[in-house]
Amino acid sequence: MKRSTAKIIREYGPFPGVDQVGGVTYDGQQVWFAAGDKLLAFDPESGKTLRAIDVAAHAGTAFDGRHLFQIVEDSIQKIDPQTGRVLATIPAPGGGNSGLAWAEGTLWVGQYRDRKIHQIDPQTGAILRTIESKRFVTGVTWIDGELWHGTWEGDESDLRRVDPRTGEILERLDMPPGVGISGLESDGGDQFFCGGGSSGKVRTVRRPRRGSAVGSGSEIPVDSTNK
């Protein structure tokens, strides 16, 4: 396993009226994050808040290219980002859902205390696959075929790249003591957006550079023996 210290590039916030940052996602222009009783969007260049959608938003957030998805207690809501309307609701896996990501047509749900990541059907909520983790799971994201998730236990938090077939830890980026990761999303390139929980902040962390051996596509390895 490769292990190094996370390189924090920038901090956004704390944002006015925001006591807690939950899930984080990126639509290619704006960074969205769950702020308890609303979803907020800000410009990652200027840090200026651009949008607010009044919807319960306590945990994971994702974007599929057209719609936002937001964990609300035991369900996941599909939201039109233009109007703020909730278009559909599906059940979320039980067990303290925290992170949420979209990849290859499915949703990926991080479960905090159960230490699991579930791949689920975005239409029905049915669990398609389960990956076990060795730590409390917070945010989840995919980038270039790599599965990353955040952890947060006590005063320790880190980013982990894991094998999507086995859950084996391949790489770990340690956050400074007392700096936690709640939500997680890739910018599609060399940065991660990380929710900062009760700090009320969103931070960007440098994604480690890859050699030519790493593919540039976003194909996700499939193991038919997994759930």
**pLDDT digit string, tens, across residues 78-118:** 999 999 999 999 999 976 788 999 998 999 999 988 899 99
**pLDDT digit string, tens, across residues 182-199:** 999 999 999 999 999 999
CA 122 from chain centre, in angstroms, equals: 16
- How many other CB atoms are there within 10 angstroms of residue 57's CB atom? 26
Does residue 176 belong to any structural domain of this protein? yes
Q: Which of 12, 33, 8 is nearest to 22 (CA)?
A: 33
pTM: 0.89
Does residue 213 belong to any structural domain of this protein? no
Does residue 227 belong to any structural domain of this protein? no
Domain count, the chain: 1
pLDDT band with cut points at 50, 70 and 90 for residue 217 = very low
Does residue 211 belong to any structural domain of this protein? no
Does residue 221 belong to any structural domain of this protein? no
Does residue 55 belong to any structural domain of this protein? yes
Q: Which of 133, 111, 108 is nearest to 119 (CA)?
A: 108
Does residue 20 belong to any structural domain of this protein? yes
Range of the domain at 77: 2-206
What letter represents residue 15's amino acid? Answer: F
Supply the CATH number for residue 141's domain: 2.130.10.10
